[in-house]
Amino acid sequence: MSEKSTQFNPQDIVQLDGYLEAFLPAIERRHKQFQQWKDVIFKHEGGYENFTKGYEVMGFTVKDDGTVVYREWAPNAREANLIGDFNRWNRLSHPMSKNQYGVWEIALAPNAPGEPAIPHDSKVKISMILPTGIRIERLPAWIHRVTQDLTYSQTYESRFWNPPASERYQFKHPHPQQPPSVRIYEAHVGISTPETRVGTYKEFTKDVLPRIQKLGYNAIQLMAIMEHPYYASFGYQVTSFFAASSRFGTPEELRELIDTAHGMGIIVLLDVVHSHASKNVLDGLNAFDGTDHLYFHEGSKGRHELWDSRLFNYGSHEVLRFLLSNLRFYMEEYQFDGFRFDGVTSMMYLHHGIGTGFSGGYHEYFGSGADDEAIAYLMLANDVLHTLYPSVVTIAEDVSGMPLLCVPVSQGGIGFDYRLSMAIPDMWIKLLKHVSDNDWDMGSIVHTLTNRRHGEKSIAYAESHDQALVGDKTLAFWLMDKEMYTNMSNLTPMTPVIARGLALHKMIRLLVHSLGGEGYLNFEGNEFGHPEWLDFPREGNNNSFQYARRQWNIVDDSMLRYQYLNNFDAAMNHLESKYMWLSSPQAYVSLKHDSDKMIVYERAGLLFIFNFHPTKSFADYRVGVDVAGEYTIVLNSDDKKYGGFENLTSGGRYPTTHQDWDGRKNWTQVYVPSRTCLVLAKASAEPGVLGGLAQ
């Protein structure tokens, strides 16, 4: 086989999961489809290196002498003209020529050496005449900048972005090394200001990045970067795929944000939306050349019923060029470090997950409902990224539990590094909404947190960004609700509701962080229990920004109790940074005691103890531990700086006794207050490690 071939041994898959043997034909069929596309790319396009740099050929490119070349794929058009401010929107003065592949092209000589004929940041469009004689005008599909003039119209205007060299941002910092485990801070630039308006890239760089660094996160996942006309869509109805959202600032300011994060040792991931696209025509890809089937499938196959959006045709050569180049563009031009792929479940199944409950039966993954074209695209995307950028991080948002999703393409998998553990936040909602504290099933909780595919890494999270939206509830809201507005001051007595809320908020997050996966994710503001829902400006709220913001002032106020949750979040992340439990083998759970409401496990040499009992504290509670020695408490949720009652102080010495207990070789005894979690480490492993973690 040639070097470009990506063959795999089917028996390796069987060794990974014996139940997959019956489905090897389907797995091999998918891999063959991927390999066929890869062969075509290497045979006819010069390999990944050339094929994924479509943005250097398509759209607007500028030569060294100032010549501007514009190319656009629109095979259905009969005529095409470039129009804009530069030619006073004359539909006849700059005709384009079409090649055999349906690509239109025009070259504009410079006004003077090095001076392009199209001024920087001026408006441009492509004007086309269809076979019917109808004229249509579109925003260039590969355009790098679009802006919205809210005074006259909601639609976007495309701009020729070509700043002089003196105004281009120059990256100063190299990419950080891929972290062995990711602690992700999921953020939305627009809501990252306390003011009632859209936040900016510059403000995020100045005000929010230092917070993220102090909290101990080593990765940021940026939402809503790809341009979308409807702010309240959370960025999931994309119109211009190569344009970073102008509502937050300029492309150069986004580059500065990412470079500054790199200087802090933080990687930056893009929330990429290749699962669907906005159905907008005037400022989107829909009906770009007058047909229903250019970038998307024709008819019902090309439409998502629930999302009211268009679906890409992943079996099209030019669509693959567009999407794969889109990934390369953000890696090269903005220096992103990887991607969280949105809506992967919708992509991998012909039914898009609509009205489908996944039982875990393998026939659901490899049967007639699977979309092999889309799966082959995801394999190509991962193979491209990991080939060109060995340190890249890719994460799949998949609710179905698709086997092999996070197995390398070379081994027959789809190639993602991580999958999101979407069942975990659902579990907490059900418990807090429907089950009293006394009836929580410790075994069921542990099962949900540990029930993940062997050899495939997961990102655990306690609550999703969707829960922060109006109409839903964050964990803090489920726990404390209206009392968050009245009883979060240190000047007021600690009520039972607030005491319970603070305690469980910390316990739930540490349990998820340390037991639920190989990575951890938090949506901004949730770390300190942000007290208000997220409601973007819309007609239903009189286009108000009142709830489309993050109130950093309340966590900075020393008189309010939000600081305690923030302190604990930082301590939790910094402790993981030291002991690296996320990159360690899965925890060994030695105790799931339902009547005591106790959970005990070991991971990365640490002993984790959780007492979820609402009223009972346990003196000298015996817990098993495999490694003998003297242990000390390095994290204690009952500490005063975390809003606890300090019934137990950190530190201390807990020697082990060599005797089997709960399946472990040794045991020790610890006082565990009600609704408290503790982390113990061997005293020889730098006792008192927590001293400087959350100051």
Q: Which amino acids are annotated catalytic?
A: 342, 397
- Kindly state the DSSP code that residue 539 receives in the 8-state scheme: G
Chain centroid, CA 190 distance in Å? 16
Closest CA to 507 of 574, 459, 561, 437: 437
Q: Do β-strands 124-129 and 135-138 pair in parallel, antiparallel, or remain unpaired?
A: antiparallel
Q: From CA 274, how far away is CA 373, in angstroms rounded?
A: 13
At residue 322, the 3 state secondary structure works out as: helix
Paired residues of 682 in beta bridges: 631
Give the number of other CB atoms < 10 A from CB of residue 472.
15
Q: From CA 363, how far away is CA 366, in angstroms rounded?
A: 5
Q: From CA 590, how far away is CA 515, in angstroms rounded?
A: 13
Buried b / exposed e over 172-206, threshold 16 CB at 10 Å, is eeebbebbebbbbbbbbbbbbbeeeebbbbbbbbe
Q: From CA 485, how far away is CA 32, in angstroms rounded?
A: 58
Helices of type H across 192-313: 201-203, 209-215, 251-263
Paired residues of 666 in beta bridges: 625, 658
Q: From CA 297, how far away is CA 303, in angstroms rounded?
A: 8
Do 258 and 268 form a contact (C-beta atoms < 8 A)? Answer: yes
Chain centroid, CA 475 distance in Å? 20
Q: From CA 441, how far away is CA 455, in angstroms rounded?
A: 27
Q: If you write DSSP's letter for every residue of 121-135 in order, what string do you get?
A: T-BEEEEEE-TTS-E
Q: From CA 562, how far away is CA 505, in angstroms rounded?
A: 11
Q: From CA 126, how far away is CA 142, in angstroms rounded?
A: 12
Q: Residue 266 is encoded by which pair of tokens?
A: 């933080």
Tokens 């700086």 belong to 641
Q: From CA 375, how far away is CA 380, in angstroms rounded?
A: 9
Strands (E), 15-94: 59-62, 68-73, 79-84
Q: Residue 271 is encoded by which pair of tokens?
A: 């929330």
> In sequence order, what are the residues at sequence separation of 6 or more whose Cβ sits closer than 8 angstroms to the Cβ of residue 262?
171, 173, 174, 175, 176, 268, 335
